[in-house]
Amino acid sequence: MHFFRPLAVLPPLPAELSDLPDIAKNFFWAWEPGMDALFRWLDAELWEKMHHNPIAFLLSLPQEKLTEAAQNPEYLEIYHEYRKRFSSYMNAPTWFSGTFEQNHNRVIAYLSAEFGIHESLPIYSGGLGLLAGDHLKAASDLGLPLVALGLLYKFGYFNQQINPHGGQEASYPLLNFHKMPISPMTDGDGREIEVQVELSNHHSCRNVSLRIWEAAVGRVRLFLLDSDTPRNRVEDRQLTGSLYGGDHQTRLLQEMLLGIGGVRALRALGFEPAVWHINEGHAAFSVLERVRELVMKGLDPETAREVVRASTVFTTHTPVPAGHDMFNREVLSCYMERYYGQLGLDRDSFFGLACDPNKHEFNMTLLAHGHATYTNAVSRLHGDTSRRIFFSLYPNIPADEIPLTTVTNGVHIETWLAPEWIDSFQRLAGEEWRTPKASPEAWEKIARMPVAEVWSIRKEIKAGMLDKVRERLLTQKQRYYASPAEQAEIETYLPPDVLTIVFARRFATYKRATLLLRDKERLAGMVSDPEQPVQLIFAGKAHPADQAGQDLIRQIYNLSQQEPFKGRIAFLEDYDIETARYLLSGADVWLNTPRRPLEASGTSGQKAVINGTVNLSILDGWWPEAYNGDNGFAIGRGEVYPNEETQDYYDSLALYAIIEDVVIPNYYRRTNGVPRDWVNIIRSAWRSIPHFFNTGRMVKEYTSLFYVPLMKRSDYIAQNDYSAARRLKEFKRRLMDNWSQIQILQVNEDRPSTPVAGQTVSVTATVKLGAVTPQDVVVELVLGRTKDYLLLDTKGFPLIAGENLGDNTYRYSGAVSLTQGALGFTVRVRPTHPDLAHPFELPLVTWAPEF
């Protein structure tokens, strides 16, 4: 192959429309209500053909269409409206600028392996990426000084086709980055900016070069790294080939490029982030690169780690240990060996950074957690499961005191709301329903929308969705040379008056796509009921290496080709953001059946609810926080089962029961043709869900819980040549080295024999501190609720140090007032230091022996 320079050449633009290329290069048009008309209006057919990619669209658009539009008042009005809205969006005062002092306007870097922003940028596989995309949109709405960083995959994730045997066929079309709404980053001379990542062991060393592309997401800039440059060896050009596509080794190399290359890219672009947000462990190598930078500047490795920790927040999304990203030591050594030394570490201490005490693998979750001031889970239930995962790192520390916060996921409302709703929402609630505000009052007003109006808009959206699904089924059939009769039959599929349940999401086995297929007779009864029938649409990709997931697709597809399911069950190919948008808004019921507690959060149900689609889900992820008995349906009651087989069996019974006994009768109960009770569920969901489960609220929480505190902390820690970091490091080392000498020698208690609430318990404890000073510790009386053998909801009340009994032994005393209930109390010693971000940042505690 010979070299050529790619050029993207647009049709000459009429002066009136000269901003179109710039408009096309900021995703703002994609979520601002009504603004996709800018492109659709010009040539609706081409717009669909280009999969809503505005650059590919402009590159193919016949010039006459532009000339025509430049004369057309209707089009010019849309165009000017856009310019007005975009400029006020970019320049208006924001929540962030209005809430925090100017000196907190420091850059936040957000790192993630995937971003789901729009169908025209296919660098996502599921919930993790979509969450990141919605995070960026809300960060833009709120005016956060945030820049994001990810990888640009030459083949995206993959495209899915289903063959006539129900087999999933994955294809990897090569993306042409010059036909996408992104731009290469260049220096003053127009040369592409590149950064290098070294892959080395003791006998070889090579550099991988990375180009940097920018995608504009409103005010937020997303930088994407791409190893497909002529400077790289052929095999290295493939490293950023596809998302989650390669083997174990490719995965490691991708994560090195993301983490190490990501830090270098932001530096090369001139950013000095004060806060680093690691979205899931894939980007955790970034902490090592930041430690390395400091070690190269002469800081010792431990102090450097304190500095990095003081500016890092880590979001975990995985509820089971097996789901964590881990690397084998030997593979790691093949590529990172020379890196250890640059971190001031040897091989063993390097692996010590991220190895579970009982395991051999290098664990990216532990690496990130160990270098973050804050770690957070993504729903309350996930918080509880995650605490159990970090348990082994915090021996003897009660689960609820492990340093882990919860920020429940949300969605970006405008991105997911069907356009059919906009006029009604604006009439009822003005702009207040939108993401940055999403006020409860606004959603209360929306919830009072007249029943008939709700229902007629719902019917319109649903009919449009079913048309699109039939069209897609037809395309699929035509690909395999269907007869005219077979093609005609598709027109009769999925009639609009039938209760339509949609299951659309990644086909990971824990999501149990086929739970409703366990009892085929019962399902056949439901779909062919003459009075109150049900129909089902499925969509979703199984990872190409996941045979079990692909089997589920096969089962569903094959069933959809048999009587009596034909035309009442459909499998739709190639689930992506576009498909999601219309399925979510057009379904009557949005079904989710994960094996509890494996769904860390899930967000698609939140998107459904905004559109008046009723959520039907296992009480897992976000749903237990939102479900209130009348705003959707719960499958079961969040039971825990001894094994998967039993769980699947009982959950399927609960699923059939709720559909047959509650969902179906409720849906078909009509007054003057309108299902009043059903619409009341929709209204109750509007009233209770979107005002909380949106990314405006979510990003505000990230900002006030983590970003702003870390801006302050990272400044403080770096002052006077990192003096606070050095002090903290020395404190930690001293306590780690000497903690075992601490002993609670004796506890004396004084309490009423039959205590009543309001009376007190007082204790005196004799504590030997060894080499630790009294200033370094708190001795506290701990009070909690007893449950089984556990002390829950523990609260500490510091005791006062009294007499020095010699040999560094002190008497501590104090009292606490009792509340009613089955309580327990004890005494413990824990570290204290003004610069600790959390009482158990050091996993040290000594509990009183029996007294």
Ligand X SMILES: *Cc1c(COP(=O)(O)O)cnc(C)c1O
Compare residues 131 and 848 and give the one whose CB is closer to ligand X: 131
In whole angstroms, what is the distance from residue 139 CA to residue 147 CA? Answer: 9
Cβ 603 to ligand X shortest distance, Å: 5
Min dist CB 216 to ligand X, Å, is 21
DSSP letters of 700-769? Answer: HHHIIIIIHHHHHHHHHHHHHHHHHHHHHHHHHHHHHHHGGG-EEEEEEEE--SS--TT-EEEEEEEEE-
- Decide whether 131 or 402 has the Cβ nearer to ligand X: 131
- Taking the complex as a whole, the smallest distance from the CB of residue 306 to ligand X amounts, in Å, to 36
Which lies closer to ligand X via its Cβ, residue 332 or residue 577? 577
Residue 681's Cβ-count burial label (10 Å; 0-12, 13-18, 19+) is: buried
Gap between the Cα atoms of 356 and 531, Å rounded: 58
- The tokens of 159 are what? 């495209």
The answer to whether residues 710 and 837 touch, using CB atoms and an 8 Å cutoff, is no
**Least distance in Å: CB of 620 to ligand X?**
10
Closer Cβ to ligand X, 279 or 604, answer by number: 604
Return the number of the residue (118 or 290) whose C-beta is nearest ligand X.
Answer: 118
Phi, psi of 691 (to 5 degrees): -70, -20
DSSP-derived secondary structure letter, 597? T
- Closer to ligand X by CB, 185 or 577: give it: 577
Pick 577 or 689: Cβ nearer ligand X: 577
List b or e across 437-455, with b for residues whose CB sees 16 or more CB atoms inside 10 angstroms. Answer: bbeeebbbbbbebebeebb
Min separation Cβ 126 and ligand X, Å: 4
Pick 241 or 602: Cβ nearer ligand X: 602
How far is Cα 492 from Cα 730, in angstroms, rounded to an integer?
74
Which of 20, 413 has the CB closer to ligand X? 413
CA separation for the pair 181, 741 (Å, rounded): 62
Q: Which is closer to ligand X, CB of 600 or CB of 708?
A: 600
Work out how close the CB of 662 gets to ligand X at its nearest, in angstroms, rounded to a whole number: 22
SS3 572: strand
Token output for 848: 């009183």
Angstrom distance (rounded) from CA 479 to CA 457: 34
Full DSSP string of 93-147: --HHHHHS-GGG---EEEEES-B---TTS-B--SHHHHHHHHHHHHHHHHT--EE
Least distance (Å) from ligand X to the CB of residue 604? 3
Nearer to ligand X, 239 or 609 (CB): 609
For residue 130, the minimal CB distance to ligand X (Å) is: 4
Interaction site with ligand X (CB under 6 A): 126-127, 130, 505, 576-577, 580, 602-604, 607
SS3 content of the chain, % helix, strand, coil (to 5): 45, 20, 35
Beta strands in 527-582 (DSSP E): 534-539, 569-572
**Phi/psi-derived region of residue 681, left when phi > 0, alpha when psi is between -120 and 50, beta in every other case:** alpha
Instruction: List phi, psi (to 5°) of 814.
Output: 170, 175
DSSP 613: P
Our CB check for ligand X shows the closer of 605 and 636 to be: 605
Give the three-state DSSP class for 20: helix
Per-residue DSSP letter, 671? B
The 8-class DSSP code of residue 691 comes to T
Q: Which residues does 850 contact at the CB level (< 8 Å), separation at least 6?
A: none
Distance between CA atoms of 476 and 836, rounded to whole angstroms?
A: 59
Pairing, β 777-787 against β 790-798: antiparallel
In whole angstroms, the minimum distance from the beta carbon of 457 to ligand X comes to 21
CB of 193 to ligand X, least distance (A): 31
Residue number with CB closer to ligand X (580 or 777): 580
Q: How far is the C-alpha of 216 from the C-alpha of 782, rounded, in Å?
A: 51
Closest separation in Å from C-beta 125 to ligand X: 8
User: What tokens were used for 142?
Assistant: 């709120």
Instruction: Count Cα neighbours of 44 within 13 Å in the Cβ-side half-sphere.
Output: 2
In angstroms, what is the minimal distance from the CB of 590 to ligand X? 9
Give the C-alpha separation, 430 to 442, whole Å: 8
**From the CB of 576, what's the least distance to ligand X, in Å?**
6
Where does residue 584 rank: exposed (0-12), middle (13-18), buried (19+ CB within 10 A)?
A: buried
Q: How far is the CB of 579 from ligand X (least distance, A)?
A: 7
Shorter beta-carbon distance to ligand X: residue 513 or 728: 513
Question: Measured from the CB of residue 578, what is the shortest distance to ligand X in angstroms?
Answer: 9
Nearer to ligand X, 506 or 687 (CB): 506
